[in-house]
Amino acid sequence: MRIIADSGATKTDWLIYTKDKTSMVRTTGINPYHQTSDDIKQTINLQLLPELPKDISCTDISEIYFYGAGCTKVKKHAVEKALEFIFPASKIYVESDLLGAARALLGKTEGIACILGTGSNSCLYDGCDIVANTPPLGYILGDEGSGAVLGKKLVADCLKHQLPDYLCKKFFERFELTPEIILNKIYREPQANRFLSSLAPFIGENKHFPEIHSLLIDSFSDFFKRNLESYGRKDLSVNFVGSVAFYCAEELAETARKYDYSIGKIIQSPIMELAKYHS
């Protein structure tokens, strides 16, 4: 019996293999940069364990493959510690969400793998390991093209009246927001990146408006220029995982052509492809 997990800033998908069936559970995101081992244990205890099949216990799980945002060599020990405590009989493998994306998108083939979800990231993958990575730097310094940065640009354009009044009005009504609520959520409440990313669907819903289309193309251009150009491998396909990439695939392809890249695979979630990789 094994578990394969893919965790981003917003959500974690857990694929649970038992003797008779496969089941999926979704919990909130787990990120050791923002959570302690105790925080992670609480998320697992409260959200995952109640959803496990009733006929198995934690000691029945023999392997766990966990791919997560923030799971660097320095930080991933918090996740390992939490999983080892709850699943004491399991072999635990914790890797970055970026390696998970590369394995899901490319398997054992060379290429460029990218994440465009709440955050963004990219790497050059040789079919086995990540061999180059432009640091994403988070939504304040980087994360170009991500949901958080798209949400940040959208909010700023609305508050500074850079978008037409009818679009600003539509945005505020869509989320029942005021400038005061927005500023409070960004500057006074935790995990502003999640809040900003939650606004990104408005962009997908309204990308037929020229102003929103330009916002998307400009953000994706920043992603290509500031993250992919340094790899110097325009001979390789560029592959994407994440909701932003999935719902804005046409705009991604338009931007890729602008920079002479070819798009390979685009998937919304890597979890099922990771299951195939580990089968």
CA 232 to chain centre: 24
Asked whether residue 176 is domain-assigned, the answer is: no
Contacts of 264 (CB under 8 A, 6+ apart): 105, 106, 111, 237, 238, 239
Owning domain of residue 40: 2-99+273-277
Cα 241 to Cα 114: distance, rounded to the nearest angstrom: 6
CATH number of residue 29's parent domain = 3.30.420.40
> What is the predicted pLDDT for the residue at 254?
96
Residue 64 belongs to some domain of the structure: yes
* pLDDT tens figures, 220-279: 999 999 999 999 999 999 999 999 999 999 999 999 999 999 999 999 989 999 988 988
Rg (CA), the chain: 19
SS (H, E, C) 181-226: HHHHHHHCCCCHHHHHHHCCHHHHHCCCCHHHHHHHHHHHHHHHHH
The reported pLDDT for the residue numbered 34 is 84
Whether 63 maps to a domain, the answer reads: yes
In a domain, 249, yes or no: no
Crossing angle (nearest 10°) for helices 210-223 and 147-159 = 140
List pLDDT tens digits, range 14-63: 999 877 788 899 999 999 988 899 999 999 999 999 988 887 888 888 99
Q: What is the pLDDT of residue 60?
A: 86
* pLDDT band for position 83 (cuts 50, 70, 90): very high
At 135, the pLDDT band (50, 70, 90 cuts) reads very high
- The whole-number pLDDT of residue 54 equals 81
In a domain, 62, yes or no: yes
pTM of the shown model = 0.85
Task: Please give the pLDDT value at position 223.
Answer: 97
Domains of the chain: total: 1
219 in any annotated domain: no
Taking residues 2-8, report their average pLDDT: 91
41 in a structural domain: yes
Q: Within a domain: residue 197?
A: no
Mean pLDDT of 104-111: 95
Q: Rounded distance, CA 102 to CA 127, Å? A: 8
